[in-house]
Copies of this chain bind each other. A is one copy, B any other.
Amino acid sequence: MDTKSLMVDIATKLFQQKGYKGVGLNELLKACNITKGALYHHFPNGKEELLIACLQSLNEAITTDIESIFQQHPSTQEATHAMIEKLITNLETDGTITGYTFSSIVSEMASLSEPVRNACGALYEKIQDIYRNKLLTDGFSIESASSVSLFMTASIEGAMMLCLTQKSTDPLRTISKILPNLLKEF
């Protein structure tokens, strides 16, 4: 793996876990086992540029990951269940958020940096699109599919928040149990 990709990979995890301001440059460099020279060679605009690269990388990773799950299951309901199961496994194995979320970055940076806000927005959008398309093939109307996909995104994101504060995966499990009711409703 080349240095740049390595940096993005490690930085992504750190940013997800501790937030943008929560990760210092020195800490980051030590984790990657590189120096400032390397960082500013690949990312001349420094930390924020690295963050945006991380968000873009995350965008691709999440998209392909979720998309593959949604292709493997016939209905939105089953796909969602499988996806949340995977989220739970992730959360259980490394204790912190490393999955399809980046809430810390959103809430920290949305009001501070437009580029970062846009990158986060793009990511949410893409996730919602996958849900939406699946819902459409399930037979939902365009309007319903849009609303429900937003609802799914929001509730899963919120549930991860609750998992963090409770140090438990129960909230995600509950969401997983309740979501089907919503998907049948329409």
* A interface residues (Cβ-Cβ under 8 A, vs B): 17-19, 21-22, 95-97, 103-104, 106-108, 110-112, 117, 120-121, 124, 147-148, 150-151, 153-159, 161-162, 164-167, 171, 174-175, 177-178, 181-182, 185-186
In the complex, which residue of chain B has the Cβ closest to the Cβ of A128?
B162
When chains A and B are docked, how far (Å) is the Cα of A164 from the Cα of B155? Answer: 15
Chain B residues near A147 (CB, 8 Å)?
174, 177-178
Instruction: Identify 4 new A-B residue pairs, CB closer than 8 A, beyond the known A110-B165, A124-B162, A151-B178.
Output: A97-B107, A106-B164, A124-B166, A185-B185
In the complex, which residue of chain B has the Cβ closest to the Cβ of A119?
B165
Q: Are A154 and B167 in contact (CB under 8 A)?
A: no
Q: Which of A22, A153, A165 is the most central at the interface, judged by chain B CB atoms within 10 Å of its CB?
A: A165
Rounded to whole Å, the gap between the CB of A47 and the closest CB of chain B is: 13
Q: Are A18 and B112 in contact (CB under 8 A)?
A: yes
When chains A and B are docked, how far (Å) is the Cα of A108 from the Cα of B23? Answer: 10
Rounded to whole Å, the gap between the CB of A161 and the closest CB of chain B is: 6
Q: Which of A161, A174, A178 is the most central at the interface, judged by chain B CB atoms within 10 Å of its CB?
A: A161
User: CB within 8 A of A151: which of B18, B124, B157, B175?
Assistant: B175
